[in-house]
Amino acid sequence: MPELRKDPVIGRWVIISTERGKRPHDFRPTPEPQKSGFCPFCPGNEDKTPPEIFAIREPGTAPNTPGWTLRVVPNKYPALRVEGDLNRRGEGIYDVMNGVGAHEVIIETPHHDKKLADLDISQIHNILKVYRDRITDLRNDVRLKYVLVFKNQGFEAGASLQHSHSQLIATPILPKTVIEEMNGALNYYKYKERCIFCDIVREEIKDQVRLVYEEEHFIAIEPFAPRFPFETWILPKNHASHYEHSSDELLRHLAITLKLVLQKLEKALQNPPYNFIIHTSPMQDGPLQHYHWHVEIMPKLTRVAGFERGTGFYINSTSPEDAARYLKTIEIA
């Protein structure tokens, strides 16, 4: 019998329909299309991106030259631009405003062929600290309401360049899904006077059936109502509403957890394309009791079709309990 499960935060229903189920090795990713040689993110091609906003580089090397291990640059084809006014206006019966915001690219490594999961923990730690520092910097622009940090790994997950990178987009309005998630968490808090994510952390540690990994500061779980097979969330055990308030030490633990989880997913699913997204509170808000930042990782193993688009329901052929059991057996050297 298929089962309908409700995401406790956002209220999204998911159909867990294991009869159409696949085993992990049935999710064979489409081969990555081979792109031709030139890569604007490789050392030596620094002039092919807009000038860098930040870099970690060897002492004595000049900006926008080789010698870096991590580089942040504006997106060359930005979805939103820093310049200009919002200029909200009507157009006939419709509403429109200018695309003010920011769109930056974090080039995670100088090595063209290394994936995020292949990097040293110290380098992943650097990347996570840069996310934090860029959010903190962009918060100074009061036109900006939210920063989404995300990564598209692999062509099927939307990456247009192979060289490992993540992105951030700062938006001048609170995105719809962020509002929904914040409201869902707030409703729970009003009713229970507890953070729903803190309750999820406790429940999953107690239940164990969806727990993939636990360390001192983080857990990784398959969520109760996952949209996608092997959707995996990483949550800090202690309550914190804003990613950008994280200490270096906390982010070191996140680096350890993220690397391990990505390695498990890559081994279990043969290097799947994936998206990861940092879910955090609106940056102009102070600390919040009801929201708890976390990371959502979504392997791209299936194709979203008409039903999902038309309803917002997702059909998932792999239960999170099965996925967690499988991921736990994956040994990482």
Residue with tokens 């019998």, as numbered in its chain: 1
For a second copy, the binding residue among 92, 113, 142, 191 (CB under 8 A) is: 92
Site for a second copy in 210-269 (CB under 8 A): 224-225
Q: Which stretch binds a second copy (CB under 8 A): 5-13, 63-71, 237-245, 285-293?
A: 5-13
Q: Is 2 in the site for a second copy (CB under 8 A)?
A: yes
Q: Which is nearer to a second copy, 93 or 333 (CB)?
A: 93
Q: Is 57 in the site for a second copy (CB under 8 A)?
A: no
Q: Is 97 in the site for a second copy (CB under 8 A)?
A: yes
- Written as six digits, the tokens of 228 are 């996608």
For a second copy, the binding residue among 133, 248, 313, 328 (CB under 8 A) is: 313
Query: Phi and psi of 235, rounded to 5°?
Result: -125, 135
What is the distance between the alpha carbons of residues 207 and 230, in angstroms, rounded to a whole number? Answer: 18
Smallest separation (angstroms) from a second copy to the CB of 296: 8
Q: Is 164 in the site for a second copy (CB under 8 A)?
A: no
For a second copy, the binding residue among 64, 65, 167, 263 (CB under 8 A) is: 167
What is the distance between the alpha carbons of residues 52 and 41, in angstroms, rounded to a whole number? Answer: 11
For a second copy, the binding residue among 176, 193, 286, 333 (CB under 8 A) is: 176
Q: Which is nearer to a second copy, 68 or 230 (CB)?
A: 230
Strand, helix or coil at 316? strand
Q: Which is nearer to a second copy, 3 or 120 (CB)?
A: 3
DSSP symbols for 246-279? --HHHHHHHHHHHHHHHHHHHHHHTS--EEEEEE
Q: Is 272 in the site for a second copy (CB under 8 A)?
A: no
Provide the 8-state DSSP code for 33: P
For a second copy, the binding residue among 106, 116, 130, 169 (CB under 8 A) is: 169
Q: Is 161 in the site for a second copy (CB under 8 A)?
A: no
Question: Is 165 noted as a catalytic residue in this protein?
Answer: yes
What is the distance between the alpha carbons of residues 66 and 209, in angstroms, rounded to a whole number? Answer: 47
Smallest separation (angstroms) from a second copy to the CB of 61: 31
Smallest separation (angstroms) from a second copy to the CB of 249: 26
Q: Which is nearer to a second copy, 38 or 94 (CB)?
A: 94
Strand, helix or coil at 73? strand
Q: Which is nearer to a second copy, 55 or 221 (CB)?
A: 221
Give every CB contact of residue 330 below 8 A, 6+ residues apart in sequence.
264, 267, 268
Q: Is 309 in the site for a second copy (CB under 8 A)?
A: yes
121-132 CB burial, b ≥16 within 10 A, e <16 = eebbbbbbbbbb
DSSP symbols for 226-243? -SSTT-EEEEESS--S-G
Q: Is 151 in the site for a second copy (CB under 8 A)?
A: yes
For a second copy, the binding residue among 11, 24, 66, 67 (CB under 8 A) is: 11
CB atoms inside a 10 Å sphere around CB 117: 21
Smallest separation (angstroms) from a second copy to the CB of 331: 29
- Written as six digits, the tokens of 117 are 């999961």
Q: Is 5 in the site for a second copy (CB under 8 A)?
A: yes
What is the distance between the alpha carbons of residues 262 and 232, in angstroms, rounded to a whole number? Answer: 10
Question: Which of 103, 125, 163, 165 is flagged as catalytic?
Answer: 165
The residue type of 285 is D
List residues with catalytic annotation.
165
